[in-house]
Amino acid sequence: MAVRIRSRFLSKRERTPAQLATVVAALGWKLAVDSIGRMRKAEYDIDIGRPYFEFVSEFLVFLATAADRIAHRELDEQGRVEFTTSMVTRMSELVEENRGMLLGEAEPGECRRDFVARFNRRGADYAEFEYSDGPDFGFRRYFAACLRDVLPEKDQLWVIDQAMDIEAPEAIKALERTVAGLFDAGAAVAEAHAELDRKKTE
């Protein structure tokens, strides 16, 4: 079943950073699964079970870190914290909800805890790299290295180029477009409210 991701809301009601974060989390899941499909077609071995779980988790952490950098451009500090916390929480729930497919008989809560710990651990490393209009070379290289470590030895030599030149750019393009649409819509609604307030005081 295809997943449709909305980058703009039709409602004129302002959305909170937490509500916007749920859209980004769903997008992240879709992009991670799409990436696995591309890599399988390119004959990388990513089997259901631990390899699938590790790949999806690393991909989601990469996207969550990128989305947090975008939020830093668009939101104040309180809004950014609310957005990123809600996004990571929802991503961890998506991983947990799919634990049967990913890890079989995983202990309830295990996948969720693993994902949050991974995000916190990787966040310290990604913090060393820059993100302006997109992730810099080091940011993408580190992402590729994380994926390399979860793939079979026969695939490890080739995944760096695949991740840096195809997977990361494709995902970031979709992420930037969606997040920009969400934040632009929120800003437009906020400005409309402000204009109404100004008119009431005139």
Digit-coded pLDDT (tens) for 45-58: 887 778 888 899 99
* Residue with more model confidence, 90 or 6: 90
Contact by Cβ (8 Å): 25, 87 = yes
Render the burial of 73-85: b for 16+ CB within 10 Å, e for the rest. ebbeeebbebbbe
Q: What are the C-alpha distances in Å from 186 to residues 9, 33, 63, 182?
A: 9, 28, 21, 6
Do 35 and 57 touch, CB atoms closer than 8 A?
A: no
Look up residue 49 and give its DSSP letter. T
* 142 has pLDDT over 90: yes
What confidence score (pLDDT) does residue 12 get?
37
Band (74; pLDDT cuts 50, 70, 90): confident
What does the pLDDT read at residue 2? 41
pLDDT at position 133 over 90: no
Give me the pLDDT at residue 130, please: 95
Tally of CB atoms within 10 A around 106: 17
